[in-house]
Amino acid sequence: MITAPQEHAPNQASVIAAQLNACLTLQRQACRAQPNPGLQQRQTDLAQLKRLVSENREAIIDAINEDYGSRSRHETLFSEILFVLDSINFVT
């Protein structure tokens, strides 16, 4: 038997969209509060980005693999993860 979807239950896409919108709002507020961060803040931000990418490497690889529909893990590691980490290391 086929049942009608619940009218008021949020689907996963709308929940994700709301989370992304909330994140974007926070980013805009931070940019307006400090549009030109100093060297120390930029270095701190890059260190945090490096930690985030390093700690979530496998999740990033899995997500990209799912988006591309069977992309090589090694290709993603070299072209996405290591490229970002090496770039951060180069500028810091």
Res 7: pLDDT: 53
What's the rounded Cα separation, in Å, for the pair 23 and 29?
Answer: 10
Residue 83 CB neighbours (<10 A): 11
What's the rounded Cα separation, in Å, for the pair 16 and 21?
Answer: 9
- Whether the per-residue pLDDT at 9 is higher than 60: the answer is no
pLDDT digits 0-9 by tens, 33-57: 999 999 999 999 999 999 999 999 9
- Whether the per-residue pLDDT at 5 is higher than 80: the answer is no
Between residues 3 and 62, the one the model is more confident about: 62
What is the pTM (predicted TM-score) of this model?
0.70
Give the pLDDT band of residue 90 (cuts 50, 70, 90): very high
Res 57: pLDDT: 96
